[in-house]
Amino acid sequence: MTTVNIHPQMTIYELGEVLSTYIKGHWKDLLNKNIKVLEQLFPEYEDATYGMYLDKLLPPIWKLIKENGFRSTEKTKEDDFVIGECLHFKNSMEKAKWGTPHHEKRVFWIVIENQHKDKIGTLLFELSHSHIEFNLPAPPRFLPLEEIKREEIIKKIIQLEVNLS
């Protein structure tokens, strides 16, 4: 992995920039290396195949984030479905009106706290995907938000997706 400069004093915006840079530098190569297997798995596993891809993409950068004192405020329970070590499926939204079956969007959110247990903001993770075949029609992306309350985060996600449509 290329050198990533993360330090414990970062703001949610700086953290979002580091994650965005990492995604831009890794998503396509990782996809190309695994595309044949993922395409073969998709008919049986459907949307879960995207989770298999994210389980390869996200853990290396999430490990560095945790090593620098940042954590998700979400406490993982035994029956929680967690993707890529950081995305809680229950903290996500997918709306048909945001796309088409060939280009659907699911948006996850992660409320982040620093080493002092201060909530510094939220990271949104948007995954464009197809429900027809294994395909990522757009790069995954991280977006930082100041909002930390669930209702405010959901409102912001809907606002962002309406503005992008």
Confidence class for position 156, pLDDT limits 50, 70, 90: very high
In a domain, 159, yes or no: yes
In a domain, 121, yes or no: yes
Q: What does pTM read for this prediction? A: 0.93
Nearest Cα to Cα of residue 109 among 78, 154, 139, 65: 154
Check residue 4 and give its pLDDT. 73
Domain range for residue 73? 12-164
- The pLDDT > 70 percentage for the chain reads 94
In a domain, 87, yes or no: yes
The four Cα atoms 55, 7, 12, 31 give a dihedral, to 10 degrees, of: -30
pLDDT above 90 (res 26): yes
